[in-house]
Chain A
């Protein structure tokens, strides 16, 4: 049942004390993104650096989490090492249901532990465990050890960092239950700076449901839509990896640091190729029957006499773009090999791959030398990248330390800004055109998921700044409602506003349902206020020259359209900075 107040667990690592507090405003902030922005505004200290112990690390679920299929995501919010401002990163796995069944709407972690720590939480447990012996361990080993150490039901999430997080890399992710991640904007570094190696949450509680048959009937109806129709087929079939071939065909797939947008080498890394040659099985986030997680295998002959080992690696479109086409790797097992190293290192795969692509071109152009990198990097050669992943995560030298702080940070130091594929943060895999470049550069999360701009580009809409701007603003508003529930965005066609209202109402959240539209508008602005409070100046955002050189199926990037849209979107964002009354 939906309560009118949020239940928030606040853990203070510095004092070792925790508190549970209630917060009014369920109909205003909804949960997820809305609650995260509100809590960040309440807790964060914009005047202090991102790694100050006082800065919060926030995890939020939403009013529908666990109650309906695909309501399976958690919003993680923090002050980002990328830009020192409000950031959100979203992940599934077991994290959302574990938080829900621990009885929490949000977890806020503040302070800094004196020693490496594992935070062990649940409906009836708050424990700080010394984890000195885990420090330095990779993200996969850490997960395996913690599964053994924490005796539990299996109904838990283990969110942990690898060496990248410990080294406070701006590209460090939080690995969630092995195959999912709070990937972008450096959440792993925030955990690292707090000396938290892992947060394990046991979902060992149970919640009340409404009386009567209405809820069960609505659940069954949505479940059937998700499983018995073609709505979700793309995601469990080839998965997002099916985009590789389509985008390459469109001349919109970034290759070799976006020096090209199409390449015959695509044959070796299509979704079909991954499925045919490497797919072991599918897996799902808890509470989602779709099963979009594709787990491939890669085997390695480690000794003579046919001695092999094998690794299981989760793949998706974005990781294949970042460690495949972007690095010129055209053999699926090579791509999985690099991806596996990225996973262990605890790096965000998109940022890591794009950073290594920049380093490779910078070496080609003599902007940097092997003396900087310590190793040779060449597009298409896998072994260099396998080593480079760990140099990057380990911030192994002055060069790698700068690159770990961000591709543009390194480019500003060494040169090569023109070909740094950075749109707010390292680009996602869509060389689709002006609307996407503007959307990622200015988007609140600098994510391809802030809006469906890559789809808008592909719709061949005319170059109309007003129409594109209206799309960006409205699509963001609609997505903010979903990420406040917190739905997987793959389910955006299932959870149209009327369906969301039905879901909320049947769980006793009539007030939330009635206020849904207004709350969406309010939360959209609230998030921008949280971001701008940290000093974000949308007008100052630049789009590197490389994006102007891109040629897609529509021809070369139109600099005039790009600039006009950039200015219009920046102006609109600035327009949302003002004080907004709670709805």
Chain B
């Protein structure tokens, strides 16, 4: 079982290619927001960029909060998503402790499903798929 890990974010240049790839490949739209990984500048005392992305919780609070089973616990951490069961209640968004789930203006949630589609579009290997025990 593999997980996406934003392991070298200190290399990030803020190009948003990962978010655009997730939106394009996984969610079939053009967006830097409606994606399972989103980049923002870190500000504060440190500088550079942060990735808002699923940390592969096990158990996952978002799955526990989902009333319909649209988000389900994924083996090895994180969740799987069945979009047709989603009622756009936003409970998963509120439950995520690291704000890794985006919600679009229609209320649809976007969460990383650890597919790794974004990895090849990072120009500096900030992202990696790591093997974990299921």
Residues in A lying within 8 Å of B, measured CB to CB? 66-67, 69, 97, 100-101, 123-124, 147, 153-155, 203-209, 215-216, 219-220, 223, 227, 281-291, 293, 312
A154-B40, A155-B38 given; A206·B15 CB < 8 A: no
Which residues of B from 33 to 71 have beta carbons under 8 Å from A? 33-34, 38-41, 43, 47-48
Distance, CA A73 to CA B12, complexed state (A): 20
Contact between chains at B28 and A206 (CB < 8 Å): no
User: 8 closest pairs, A vs B, by CB?
Assistant: A154-B40, A291-B13, A206-B31, A284-B15, A289-B123, A207-B30, A284-B13, A206-B34
Residues in chain A near residue B40, CB distance under 8 A: 153-155
Distance, CA A204 to CA B105, complexed state (A): 8
Distance, CA A223 to CA B17, complexed state (A): 9
Contact between chains at A283 and B13 (CB < 8 Å): yes
Contact between chains at B105 and A205 (CB < 8 Å): yes
Contact between chains at B16 and A286 (CB < 8 Å): yes
Residues in chain A near residue B20, CB distance under 8 A: 66, 287
Contact between chains at A207 and B31 (CB < 8 Å): yes
A206-B23, A219-B24, A223-B121 given; A291·B15 CB < 8 A: yes
**CB-based nearest B residue for A292:** B13
The binding surface of chain A is classed by DSSP as loop
Contact between chains at A227 and B48 (CB < 8 Å): no
Contact between chains at A67 and B30 (CB < 8 Å): yes
Contact between chains at B17 and A208 (CB < 8 Å): no
Residues in chain B near residue A124, CB distance under 8 A: 105
Nearest Cβ distance between residue A100 and chain B, in whole angstroms?
8
Distance, CA A290 to CA B13, complexed state (A): 9
Partner of B15, one of A66, A154, A216, A286: A286
Contact between chains at B30 and A287 (CB < 8 Å): no
Contact between chains at B29 and A154 (CB < 8 Å): no
1/0 per position for B75-113, CB-CB distance to A under 8 A?
A: 000000000000000000000000000001100000000
**CB-based nearest B residue for A206:** B31
Contact between chains at B38 and A66 (CB < 8 Å): no
A153-B40, A286-B32, A291-B123 given; A206·B16 CB < 8 A: no
Residues in chain A near residue B13, CB distance under 8 A: 281-284, 289, 291, 293
Nearest Cβ distance between residue A460 and chain B, in whole angstroms?
35
Contact between chains at A97 and B32 (CB < 8 Å): yes
**With A204-B105, A206-B104, A220-B121 already in contact, 7 other A-B pairs whose C-beta atoms are closer than 8 Å:** A154-B41, A155-B38, A206-B29, A206-B34, A209-B28, A215-B24, A312-B47
1/0 per position for B109-134, CB-CB distance to A under 8 A?
A: 00000000000110110000000000
Residues in chain A near residue B48, CB distance under 8 A: 281
Can you list 27 contacts pairing A with B, beta carbon distance less than 8 Å? A123-B105, A124-B105, A147-B43, A153-B33, A203-B32, A203-B33, A204-B105, A205-B31, A206-B30, A209-B24, A209-B30, A219-B24, A223-B121, A281-B13, A281-B47, A282-B13, A284-B13, A286-B14, A287-B16, A288-B15, A289-B13, A289-B15, A289-B121, A290-B123, A291-B124, A293-B13, A312-B47
**CB-based nearest A residue for B11:** A281
Distance, CA A209 to CA B25, complexed state (A): 10
Nearest Cβ distance between residue B25 and chain A, in whole angstroms?
6
Of the candidates B38, B48, B123, the one having the most CB atoms from chain A within 10 angstroms of its own CB is B123
Residues in chain B near residue A155, CB distance under 8 A: 32-33, 38, 40
Partner of B14, one of A205, A209, A284: A284
Distance, CA A69 to CA B124, complexed state (A): 15
Nearest Cβ distance between residue B126 and chain A, in whole angstroms?
11
Nearest Cβ distance between residue A288 and chain B, in whole angstroms?
6
Nearest Cβ distance between residue A250 and chain B, in whole angstroms?
31
**CB-based nearest B residue for A288:** B15
Distance, CA A168 to CA B29, complexed state (A): 42
Residues in chain A near residue B17, CB distance under 8 A: 69, 223, 287, 289
Contact between chains at A204 and B15 (CB < 8 Å): no
Contact between chains at B29 and A101 (CB < 8 Å): no
Residues in chain A near residue B41, CB distance under 8 A: 154
Residues in chain B near residue A209, CB distance under 8 A: 24, 28-30
Residues in chain B near residue A281, CB distance under 8 A: 13, 47-48
Residues in chain B near residue A216, CB distance under 8 A: 24-25
Distance, CA A282 to CA B38, complexed state (A): 19
Nearest Cβ distance between residue B29 and chain A, in whole angstroms?
5
Nearest Cβ distance between residue A36 and chain B, in whole angstroms?
22
Residues in chain A near residue B105, CB distance under 8 A: 123-124, 204-205
Distance, CA A207 to CA B104, complexed state (A): 12
Distance, CA A153 to CA B105, complexed state (A): 13
A154-B39, A205-B105, A223-B121 given; A287·B15 CB < 8 A: yes
Distance, CA A285 to CA B20, complexed state (A): 13
Nearest Cβ distance between residue A520 and chain B, in whole angstroms?
25
**CB-based nearest B residue for A152:** B40
Nearest Cβ distance between residue A72 and chain B, in whole angstroms?
9
Distance, CA A285 to CA B123, complexed state (A): 13
Distance, CA A282 to CA B13, complexed state (A): 6
